[in-house]
Amino acid sequence: MRQLTLKPIIRYALIILLIIIISGLIFIQFTNNYIVVVLVLLTEYLILMMMLHYVFDKYVKPIKKATDTLDELVKGNFSARMHHPVTGSMASLLMKINKLARSLSELSFNEKIHAEQLSTVIENIQSGLILVDEKGYIHLVNKNFLHIFGKTEKDYVGYLYYDVLENDTLHKTIQQTFLYEQNVKDSIIISNQTKQYFEVIGAPIFDDRNMLKGGILVLYDITELKKLERMRKDFVANVSHELKTPITSIRGFSETLLEEDINDKDTARHFLSIINEESKRLQMLIQDLLTLSRLEKEDSQVRLSKVNLIKIIEEVIQVLNIHLEQKEIAFKVNVPKELIFMAELTSVKQIMINLLENAIHYTPKGGEVRIHAVDEEEFIHIIVKDTGIGIPAESLSRIFERFYRVDKARSRNTGGTGLGLAIVKHIVELHQGKIEVESEVDVGTTFHIYFPK
């Protein structure tokens, strides 16, 4: 481009120089004074130089600067600008080049921002993602995909997917995505330290001419959804079972009373007492289900007020004292009378009833139940401890699940619904608190409840 710019100037300079030489030779024919000839030639030469300088400064320099600027733009340096002061037609050219440079700079900046935003989104989405071109080569994997399979980026990028992806379902999903050129859905299970469930979706990528350019594979973690689905099924099965037992008893004994002529009043009374107990059990179950449903609502809130723990414990003991006396269980309380904190009164009472009922039910005759409370720096720490049968270590993590029973037969005989501890946990968490448990078989169980101040 520079050679094309300078050639016309050099050509014109040579032509003018040739004209000067010819004019000098002609002038010599009319005079023998060589000094005059030399002066004339020098004058013409100076005029030529001034003309060339003018042309060079006005045209050649701007064109050279424009050429240099365009070279920089071609190289990707979009910050290049022309600052040479010019007027006339060249000024318009320079302004257009600078405008082009600014437009390219803005376009480059916007593309860079978009690329960074896209990269940020890809790297931070909670799903695994992999990009494959139409030939099957992997171009991109995000960190979640690498985390799922415990690999690094260099294990995938640049390789054919069927050489490095070790899961047959992923192979099939990519193949079907390319074959049918439409979204394909499947699922996989990955067992590392824990079992994880993933929904796999393959989506084709097309260019402007609607030609297939590759595909994206996305892995959505649906482990929690599977867990919730299992819990829902278990919950329905457990509710059905828990409802079936008392209803079967009520129906059986009521039919016996209706269909058979029972003259023995003691037998009839016994049947009626069973019906009454099963009705109470059914009522308790329904009440606990309603309570749990209320606590699990997203908009569920607690109404805070000043709570005196010792007064609540005294009220609960009045209700449960008959069971303590029947089993000759020693009940000890170590709670400061002045201990007052902010909580929902009925909820704290529900916690105490559920925990103390459990402690009494699972503590053998002659055992001991203790309640201790401490005003700590950030929490009110309540401890409920018994000398009962204890909970096996493998069951500790599940005792707050709905309907979970360590010993199903024994638990049902105690009259519980299997929802008590689930209710306790929800109440504590609604208060932004926490509950912990420690237990040893044949030694006892201790519950720690922490209410924030």
Span 92-150, pLDDT tens digits: 667 777 777 777 777 766 667 766 766 777 777 888 999 999 999 999 999 999 988 88
Taking residues 84-88, report their average pLDDT.
57
* pLDDT of 444 strictly over 90: yes
**In this structure, which topology does domain 226-295 adopt according to CATH?**
Helix Hairpins (1.10.287)
Taking residues 227-240, report their average pLDDT.
81
pLDDT attached to residue 75: 75
| Residue 376 φ/ψ, nearest 5 degrees | -95, 180
pLDDT attached to residue 30: 62
Taking residues 246-269, report their average pLDDT.
82
Selected residue with higher pLDDT from 17 and 379: 379
- Chain-centre distance for alpha carbon 345: 36
* pLDDT of 58 strictly over 50: yes
355: confidence class by pLDDT, cuts 50, 70, 90: very high
pLDDT attached to residue 274: 86
In whole angstroms, what is the distance from residue 346 CA to residue 335 CA?
Answer: 19
Selected residue with higher pLDDT from 5 and 335: 335
Taking residues 410-416, report their average pLDDT.
54
Selected residue with higher pLDDT from 80 and 451: 451
Taking residues 330-335, report their average pLDDT.
94
What class does CATH assign to 125-221?
A: alpha beta
What is the amino acid identity at position 171? H
Strand, helix or coil for residue 198? strand
In whole angstroms, what is the distance from residue 217 CA to residue 173 CA?
Answer: 8
* pLDDT of 5 strictly over 70: no
pTM for the full predicted model? 0.55
> Could you give the count of Cα atoms lying within 13 Å of 368 in the half-sphere of its Cβ?
6
* pLDDT of 1 strictly over 50: no
Domain borders along the chain are 2-110, 125-221, 226-295, 305-452
Q: What CATH superfamily classification does 305-452 receive?
A: Histidine kinase-like ATPase, C-terminal domain (3.30.565.10)
pLDDT attached to residue 91: 67
| Percent share of the chain, pLDDT over 70 | 79
